[in-house]
Amino acid sequence: MPNKKKTKKEAAAQKKSNALLLPLYLFTIIFVFAPLVYMIILSFLQKAEIWGVKNVFTLENYRRILEPLYLGTFTESLKLAFLSTAAIILIGYPYGYFMARMSERWKKRMMMLLMIPFWTSALIRLNGWIIVFRSNGVLDKLLMGLHLTDKPLKLLYSYEAVLVGMIYALLPFMILSVYSSAEKMDWSLVEAARDLGAGRVKAFVSVTLKMTLPGLLSGVILTFIPSMGLFFIADLLGGNKVVLVGNVIQEQLTKGRNLPFAAALSVVLMVLTSLIIAFYRRVAHTKELEGMFV
């Protein structure tokens, strides 16, 4: 008899938590899971003449990705993503690390200084770079004023401009990730390592780097993944000179009206990013991304 009562009480609790979970379950299945599955299905279907799809199975879309034109955009995107991520690490890691060692008061001030650009629309910040890079713009004027060059450099709509835009847009993510893991670090460990005879470099590699690795890696993910898809940066700062996977997908959807091919491109891009995330989990031994929710 008491056993029966128990299951009753437990069942009531279960019912309650089921009711609470229902919205999340439904929403996630209908609007996250199902659309992703639909995308995968789409990628194996044929394009209809004008818009939409024919229900005929084909591998044509994936074969097409292997064409040099599209394969080129993938390698181009990966190259840009690697370059910008590397630059972001070089700039952002020391920044976050130094910030974590400041006094509480300065930490707060720096946080505010970081937050203002972070919370400002990426587009608006890019607008500032357009002013800088524009032909006869601020940078041209500055360089000519210093007599470093005698004619405008045509910096806007170049690969370098896109690179700068990417770095600029994604740098805060790296800084915040590194900062949040360096902040939690026990500095006495570094002192202990130094005390035990480790040199500055050795102490840094064996203690500091190891302890901040989760933050660094999560910063890499938070910058690498978006950098492959932020087509508007390439669009606005690169003109049509820089074509990334994101731009191709966008073009296929808007101008090419080829849904299945766009889907196939997306699937490949998603597989790539999942591999990166899986790698992160393996190396960092963690599920959550550090500093993702500051």
**Contacts with another protein in 232-271 (CB under 8 A)?**
232, 235-236, 245-246, 249-250, 253, 259, 262-263, 266, 269-270
119 scored as a contact of another protein (CB under 8 A): yes
- CA distances (Å), 184 to each of 97, 101, 106, 179, 274, in order? 11, 11, 17, 9, 28
131 scored as a contact of another protein (CB under 8 A): yes
CA dihedral 140, 235, 163, 229 (to 10 degrees): 170
Among 120, 202, 209, 241, binds another protein (CB under 8 A): 120
101 scored as a contact of another protein (CB under 8 A): yes
229 scored as a contact of another protein (CB under 8 A): yes
**Minimal distance, residue 181 CB to another protein, in Å:** 16
Rounded distance between C-alpha atoms, residue 238 and residue 243, angstroms:
8
Among 231, 238, 242, 284, binds another protein (CB under 8 A): 231
* Contacting range for another protein; rule: CB under 8 A; set: 58-66, 67-75, 183-191, 207-215: 183-191
Among 50, 66, 116, 196, binds another protein (CB under 8 A): 116
Rounded distance between C-alpha atoms, residue 132 and residue 130, angstroms:
5
Site for another protein in 199-218 (CB under 8 A): none
DSSP string, 8-61: HHHHHHHHHHHHHHHHHHHHHIIIIIHHHHHHHHHTTEEEPSSSSEEEEE-SHH
